[in-house]
Amino acid sequence: MRQLLYDEISESDIKKIKRYLTKNAIASPLGDIFWINLPEELYDETQKSHKDCQPFYFAIEIGSKYLRIELLIRSRQRLHCQCIKYANKSQRDFIFDFADKLMERLKVRT
């Protein structure tokens, strides 16, 4: 799995991240996993044409000392489809920008 990993995060910073994501992301039924919707303007041509698979999102997992951000763009409607794929450049830029702003906004030390 391609992913962005922040590790060795303090317990207090993990709590800040979890509180922020609880308020600003979609909690999944899988515990400490959150979903961030991808803006529609970043969908590629296949994703735009797959109306039944929308919306698309990327997942964030919070562990006891880490934050893992997947670079896989997923659908809540289907598990397997050609529109579910690794982020393209503009989608990756969005994900990395989201992660940078999250760390900066919450003053997380990494």
Q: What is the pLDDT of residues 4-34, one digit of tens each?
A: 999 999 999 999 999 999 999 999 988 899 9
Mean pLDDT of 88-97: 98
Give the integer Cα–Cα distance in Å for 100 and 31: 23
Mean pLDDT of 40-50: 96
Beta bridge partners of 73: 85
Backbone angles phi, psi at 101, to 5 degrees: -65, -40
Beta bridge partners of 61: 33, 68
Assign 99 a pLDDT band (cuts: 50, 70, 90).
very high
SS3 content of the chain, % helix, strand, coil (to 5): 40, 25, 35
Count the neighbouring beta carbons within 10 Å of the beta carbon of residue 7. Answer: 10
pTM to 2 decimals? 0.92
Which residue's entry shows tokens 């590629």? 44
